[in-house]
């Protein structure tokens, strides 16, 4: 079956640096992608999404880039703060009968050092 | 609004016991789903529902049953618990499976 994976399981950065978290996907039918943040002991929380007809989307301090040619997704966090320390998941979504069926990647642990 | 609530927060079962994990939402979302999360792994879809009376299997449905009699509730039943079902279970809701709102999770240990 097709799957979503991540290039780096752990990323350590200094406070104030920019962080880039990568994700590879292989399902060419996926048309909607989401990044989630999961803090220790909590459920995942939506950060930002992007549809396949876009290649870039910006939020507050976060930017998601989508490269459909190489099936690659990245999350950029500007001026990383200690509160950004968490596990970040990408999820690819394939439309099915009017709803989406998500597939999650393994996750990348982001550690921000003060 | 409470959002998505899950009970219990923690549970320890012996092999062969059965139990029901509860999930309730007050967001009036049609789509609800159950995931399990194992150490170092992403979330794997167990079962999902696109509306009351409709359920379907996800990636790892074996050993679990669900039903959806109301929009608000989506319980997950473990029929005969096995150590391989030790995991953290998350319930999530969304309008159509896109942006998902997750509950706080239930940490289940099967001995």
Q: Which of A32, A44, A105 faces B102 most closely, judged by CB atoms?
A: A44
What burial letters (b/e) apply to A10-20, b meaning 16+ CB within 10 Å? ebebeeeeebe
Q: Give the residue on B whose Cα is nearest the Cα of A1.
A: B59
Q: For residue B1, what pLDDT is reported?
A: 66
Please write the tens of the pLDDT for every residue from A12-55: 999 999 999 999 998 888 889 999 999 999 999 999 999 999 99
Chain A residues touching residue B44 (CB < 8 angstroms): 104
Higher pLDDT: A5 or A10? It is A10
Q: For residue A101, what pLDDT is reported?
A: 80
Mutate to test the interface with A, among B35, B36, B42 (most CBs of A within 10 A): B42
Query: Is A85 a residue whose pLDDT tops 70?
Result: yes
The model's confidence at residue A5, banded by pLDDT at 50, 70 and 90, is: very low
Using DSSP, state whether A46 is helix, strand or coil: strand
Pairing status of strand B101-102 against strand A19-25: unpaired
Query: Is A7 a residue whose pLDDT tops 50?
Result: no
DSSP one-letter code for B103: -
**Contact between chains at A43 and B99 (C-beta distance less than 8 A):** no
Higher pLDDT: A46 or A98? It is A46
Which of A61-75, A96-110, B28-42 comes out lowest in average pLDDT? A96-110
Q: For residue A51, what pLDDT is reported?
A: 94
- Give the number of other CB atoms < 10 A from CB of residue B79: 13
CA A82, CA A91: separation in Å to the nearest integer? 24
Please write the tens of the pLDDT for every residue from B57-101: 999 999 999 999 999 999 999 999 999 999 999 999 998 778 899
The model's confidence at residue A91, banded by pLDDT at 50, 70 and 90, is: very high
Q: For residue A29, what pLDDT is reported?
A: 86
Task: Tell me the residues of B at the A interface, defined by beta carbons under 8 Å apart.
Answer: 4, 31, 35, 40-45, 48, 50, 58-59, 90, 92, 96-105
Please write the tens of the pLDDT for every residue from A67-83: 999 999 999 999 999 99
């Amino acid at each position: 079956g097709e799957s979503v994976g991540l290039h780096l399981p752990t990323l350590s950065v200094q406070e104030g640096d920019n962080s880039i978290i990568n994700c590879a996907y292989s399902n060419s039918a996926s048309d909607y992608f989401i990044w989630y943040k999961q803090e220790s002991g909590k459920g995942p929380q939506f950060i930002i999404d992007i549809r396949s007809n876009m290649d870039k989307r910006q939020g507050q301090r976060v930017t998601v880039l989508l490269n459909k040619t190489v099936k690659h997704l990245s999350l950029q966090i500007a001026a990383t703060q200690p509160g950004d320390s968490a596990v970040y998941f990408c999820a690819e979504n394939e439309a099915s009968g009017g709803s989406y069926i998500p597939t999650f990647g393994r996750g990348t642990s982001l550690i921000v050092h003060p | 609004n409470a959002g998505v609530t899950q009970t219990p927060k923690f549970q320890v079962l012996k092999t062969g016991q059965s139990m029901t994990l509860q999930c309730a939402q007050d967001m009036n979302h049609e789509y609800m789903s159950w995931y399990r999360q194992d150490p170092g792994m992403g979330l794997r879809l167990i079962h999902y529902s696109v509306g009351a009376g409709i359920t379907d299997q996800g990636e790892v449905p074996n050993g679990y049953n669900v039903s959806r009699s109301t929009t608000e509730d989506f319980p997950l039943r473990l029929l005969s618990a096995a150590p391989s079902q030790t995991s953290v279970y998350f319930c999530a809701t969304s309008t159509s499976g896109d942006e998902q709102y997750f509950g706080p999770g239930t940490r289940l240990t099967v001995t």
